[in-house]
Amino acid sequence: MSHAYYVYGLWPMLVIAVLFWGSVVALIVWAIRRLTSHGATDSTTPPRRTPMDYLKERYAKGEITKEQFDQMKRDLLDGANGG
């Protein structure tokens, strides 16, 4: 009778142990991926553009002149420096 307990009572503990250790491994993998992907961006989200990017694009398209570009660039840099 005592052997039946080990056969029928052991498998629930085995299932719980597998689920527990599987969860531990999954948590470790998630944490490592989270910590090592600090500089990586999701491929579905476009990179964030700065005002300088827009200014460079306008200059490249010919929407503004070199003088306008230089003035706007100075204005952006002065604003970023608190001036």
**Band of residue 11 on the pLDDT scale cut at 50, 70, 90:** confident
Give the 3-state secondary structure of residue 40: coil
Q: Name the H helices within 1-83.
A: 2-36, 51-61, 66-80
- Cα–Cα distance list, 33 to 1, 21, 53, 76 (Å): 49, 18, 30, 36
- The string of pLDDT tens digits covering residues 35-69 is 887 665 556 777 889 999 999 999 999 999 999 99
Q: Say what the pLDDT of residue 37 is.
A: 78
Q: Say what the pLDDT of residue 31 is.
A: 93
Contacting residues for 47 by C-beta, under 8 A, at least 6 apart: 41
Mean pLDDT of the chain: 85
Cα–Cα distance measured from residue 39 to residue 3, given in angstroms and rounded to the nearest whole number: 56
State pTM to two decimals. 0.43
